[in-house]
């Protein structure tokens, strides 16, 4: 998951920067049909970037909910102590959720401010300030989420090792052998 997340975070960062750059360029242009075309590029980039940000952070929510539930269920099935694996996944989820949520909220606020600016109801500085904050908060969130994803991968690996140890102690086949027997 860390590889997928890294790819998505890099692409999203590039999309934020491209949207921001086109927006600055659009602001610098004189009123003309060309400025309208550049604005449409900025609007489209902003829309897809905002949706991409919501998607990436929702993936983080879903991933931690799913893996946390898996670790909890496996822990109950194999009587693993709550203190180490399930508790750690809960703590990682609690660490990753606020940055992901803040990133989503600031992205939505920036899009709303862009709409306010488009309708000339809000001053351009509001949208610009929120755009800068959006980039910074998303970069912070990516860092926290990556750190939590990496730690969670270690927890999952630890659970798998512990399960295989317990299965071997009880004379049971490995999980892979059990899976192949059930499949075949």
Q: pLDDT for 39-64, tens place per residue?
A: 999 999 999 999 999 999 999 999 99
Q: What are the domain boundaries of the chain? A: 14-127+140-183
pLDDT at 175: 78
What pTM was estimated for this model as a whole? 0.87
Angle at 104 between CA 101 and CA 107, to 5 degrees: 145
For 30-91, the three-class secondary structure string (H helix, E strand, C coil) is CCCHHHHHHHHHHHHHHHHHHHHHHHHHHHHHHHHHHHHHHHHHHHHHCCCCCCCHHHHHHH
Q: pLDDT for 64-83, tens place per residue?
A: 999 999 999 999 888 888 78
Task: Spell out a b/e string for 59-86, using b for 16 or more CB atoms within 10 Å of the CB, else e.
Answer: bbeebbeebbeebbebbeeeebeeeebb
Q: pLDDT for 100-137, tens place per residue?
A: 999 999 999 999 999 999 888 889 999 999 999 999 99
């Amino acid at each position: 998951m860390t590889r997928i997340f890294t790819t998505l975070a890099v692409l999203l960062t590039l999309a934020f920067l491209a949207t921001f750059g086109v927006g600055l360029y659009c602001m610098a242009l004189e009123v003309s049909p060309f400025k309208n075309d550049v604005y449409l590029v900025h609007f489209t980039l902003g829309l897809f970037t905002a949706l991409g940000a919501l998607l990436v952070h929702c993936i983080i929510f879903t991933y931690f909910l799913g893996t946390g539930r898996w670790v909890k269920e496996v822990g109950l099935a194999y009587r693993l102590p709550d203190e180490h694996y399930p508790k750690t996944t809960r703590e990682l989820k609690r660490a990753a959720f606020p940055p992901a949520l803040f990133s989503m909220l600031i992205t939505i606020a920036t899009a709303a401010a862009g709409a306010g600016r488009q309708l000339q109801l809000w001053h351009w500085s509001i949208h610009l300030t929120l755009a800068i904050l959006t980039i910074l908060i998303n970069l912070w969130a990516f860092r926290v989420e990556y750190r939590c994803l990496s730690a969670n991968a270690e927890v999952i690996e630890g659970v798998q090792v512990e399960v295989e140890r317990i299965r071997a102690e009880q004379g049971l086949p490995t999980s892979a052998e059990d899976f192949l027997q059930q499949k075949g």
